[in-house]
Amino acid sequence: MPAGVVCQTIQYRHHDEPSRQECFLQGTEQAVIESVMIATPPRISAPTAGAHYAWDPDIPVTQQRIRFAVKGVEALPIVWRINQRLVSHDAIFYWEPNQFGRLQIDLLHADTHQILDTIFISIQE
């Protein structure tokens, strides 16, 4: 081993990876590696908070879907809730509006139902 290099066992926290031996420059060793995906708080990336949509009865429903997307949940099971109604477990999905007015969009942890993020949008009928 070159001078100034040390090897030690590392473990991953919140990640499905086995412990293993890694080499570091002396003084930079880490025994536990945190997953960046877990360290990044999950956030709703679409729709944009405060967005206003206008419903047009002359346009087909399938052409008026609203895209829902989340960032930072690669390792978490999630569920979407619109005005207290569970609607999807997908990180990205398209929702056909069936409610109007001011809507509360919640991103929840699927197992604990802890709220991870909340936004409000409005859909004008």
Domain boundaries along the sequence of the chain: 5-34, 39-124
Query: Which of 107, 109, 110 has the alpha carbon at shortest distance from 118?
Result: 107
Q: pLDDT of the chain along its 125 residues, tens only?
A: 789 999 999 988 766 778 899 999 999 988 888 766 555 788 999 999 999 999 999 999 999 999 999 998 766 899 999 999 999 999 999 999 999 999 999 999 999 999 999 999 999 98
Looking at residue 119, what is its pLDDT?
98
Count Cβ atoms within 10 A of the Cβ of residue 80 and give its class: 0-12 exposed, 13-18 middle, 19 or more buried: buried
DSSP 5: E
**Cβ-contact 4, 29 below 8 angstroms:** no
Pick the CATH number of 39-124 from 1.10.540.10, 2.60.40.10, 3.40.50.2020, 3.30.565.10: 2.60.40.10
Q: Is 116 helix (H, G, I), strand (E, B) or coil?
A: strand
